[in-house]
Structure 1
Amino acid sequence: MNILLWNCRGALNPLFHVTLKNLIVTHSPSIVIITETRVGGERAKDITDRLPFDGALHADTIGYSGGIWVLWKLEERKLLWKNLASIAPMHDLPWLMLGDFNEMLSSSDKLGGNPLIPRRVQMFKDCLDSCGMVDLGFHGPRFTWVNKREVGHFIQERLDRGFANSEWRRMYLEAAIHHLVRTHSDHCPVLLKMDNNGLSNLSRSFRFQPMWMSHPLFSDFVADSCMDDGPLNLNVEKFTADVKIWNKEVFGDIFQRKKRLEARLRGIQSRIADGLNLYLLNLECQLRKEYSEVLQSEEEFWLEVKEGLWSLKPLKAPGPDGIHAGFFQAYWQLVGTSVVNEVCKVFQDSTMPPHLNETLITLIPKYPGADCLASFRPISLCNIVYKVVTKIIVKRLRPFLPNLISPLQTAFVLGRMGLDNMIIA
């Protein structure tokens, strides 16, 4: 077996095809590794499809550099199937194979492009039969990979799948494969659920949207909602009532938007799997962009919660549960999701749950040797999540306070001090 490695310094060079063809004819390599191709994506696949090999893998370029192609002939895939088949008689344990096999079993696994190679299909089937594997089937869109090309060159294939032997199947009778919504990659995520109770429900909707300030029209909305000469309490009441409507009609709920977009993408991708439609392809592209924007907003909310937590001193003022902010900071990778979900729920319900609203009141001496009640001042030790919520609220309100509070008010606004009244007097 021969393996050819070549740093081609650009696969678009006019001499690339001539040189590679000469190398293949001269040395008959079973595997070819080409580096520095400087070509990625669909363009790379178009080139490798024209080469005399049965399979190919591509590593995308970085800017205008990099790029790796690995090409192989059927004999090497035959060796893989042979190795898998040789493992099966060595044990009687439960066995699951899950992944991108880059092979198909029937013409129904592909829509568009060149027809299947019967010899490759038969080799794959023989391997699965030797291993005693059964296809686990799937729920969702039929295909797991698309080439993202225009109508006429659009190809869909079912490459990602799961197989299991009878021992594994008896252990997990309700296990099922779910093809999830394809949003970023050309492959869709594949979920294996051991108990087939359907997909998990997403977070409920909530009335207060964390990322209002990221919307380009929010500043104009605030200006229209608030009266310059109105009292603070009326401004706040009017703003609260208006912003709930604005959130639903203009901005939309992040989690609800995400849920709706996933549902629409799932439906569109299922329809595309049954037949191509230019309108649906364009709509899918548009919805995938919107989905990316929603994910970005979700990420910004995570950062907002994290900033609020990290603004607290690690080992000061623990809450009633005795836990400092430092615990959540040190173990953020483990508890971060729980903290973010708890904060989301507070904004969603517009209510602080009783267990978070509990406060430990303690007395701090005003000076050493304090011996009477008047010599102490009370402080409240609030729950850490309670503090994070208030930090977020303060951060969001701060940019609007100068416009909401009368210019005659000299406290609670950055740059204004009570001393100003004495100077004016």
Structure 2
Amino acid sequence: MSCLAWNCCGLGNLRTGKELVEIVRAKDPAVVFLVETRTDDARLEFVQSSIGFDHRWVVPRVGRNGGLVHYWRASVNLKVEGSDRYYIDAVIKNSENEWRLTGFFGEPDTARRHEARSKLRNLNSHPEKPWLCFGDFNEIIRQDEKLGSARRPHYQMQQFREVIDECGFMDLGFEGSKFTWSKHFENGSSIWERLDRCLVTNSWFMKFAGSRVFHLTCTSSDHVPILISLLGLSPPVRKKIFHFEQMWLSDSSCEEVVYSVWGSGSGLGDGGNILRKVERCGKELGHWEKNVFGNVRMELNRLKKVLANEERAAMISGNNFQVRQIKKDIEVLQDREATMWAQCSRVLWANQGDKNSKYFHCCATKRFWKNAMEGIRDEEGVWRTTQEEVGEIMVNYYKTLFSSTEGSVLGSMLECVPTVIDEEMNAALCKEFEACEVISALQQ
């Protein structure tokens, strides 16, 4: 499923309507939110028929300006909860999820922009529902979101940032052009700004962690359309790489496994022996995790079910010993899970704090998606996606990069280089290292 938002700057323009049809055919969104339609209901109905959508919700224009419209297909279970000149707020339901979709339009007039911000604050009334809010907010967050003309006053950006924080939003980012609005003047100067964006709450991001925002292109409006592709996080199938988990240290038997591996064999041994012990230690710890330590999440879910049964039994028997013991076990596992997510998120400054928060989950999930590699182009520019092909391309690249090639050095060039190392010094430098020299170097 995908959603499209666009400040079309007037649907009365036939060229704009035609471009909208082309965008919808190419991207096939299930929901379309249009800002500044500047037209009447008859024209909006004609546009609905042109793009082949089944339903619409209209906020009429005021005079010759403004106007919002939501189009959606019959396959989407969408119910509009409320609307205003600044927004259309809806709820989307399916068999697995229920979440809010709000199309928003920020006030163009700087003096009245606080009115739109107040409306956005008022919409933050159901924090328990995952929430996506997208559209033209008519404001930037940082100075680097604007290019050209005067700098944006700090207080304006700060007020917008405060609203985002109050609503618990995070910016989904984007792919494509950095700016979504532009204005070009006859003297050759231009202004570019990122006014259109997609904001989501943590709970929404956890449900659709693989979602992406694309800045599209257009010619009939000074705003570009933004397309939000809703996807769950579907990691590529690959062999699990061994990672030492900090939470293992909470179990004393982990130390015993490490000691047993490193205590076997003869001393430190040579470099090859050390590498073999590292590899064996990883295998033994993996076996220990599977058979002794256990899967933390699965064990937590199992204990929570057992706890519910034991609580019902305690109500009848009057003995809560098992209930208290299971709760202690759950607390231990929750601490382990919190340590695991903190390690995955790499938020090193949060040392043993903010246990198992959504912040850690979002950091870890966003980092995974950012680091995921879908494919790579080979030397001929062909896109390769399978794990074997990607691996082969990367290995060949570094083999070529670090391979030596025979070069030719002209004798006349060497004659220009002064001789500093004589034969005696060169012989001393090229001779084999002695044991006493290695010991001396290590003790420095």
Q: TM-score, normalised by structure 1?
A: 0.29
Please give the TM-score of this superposition, normalised by the length of structure 2.
Answer: 0.28
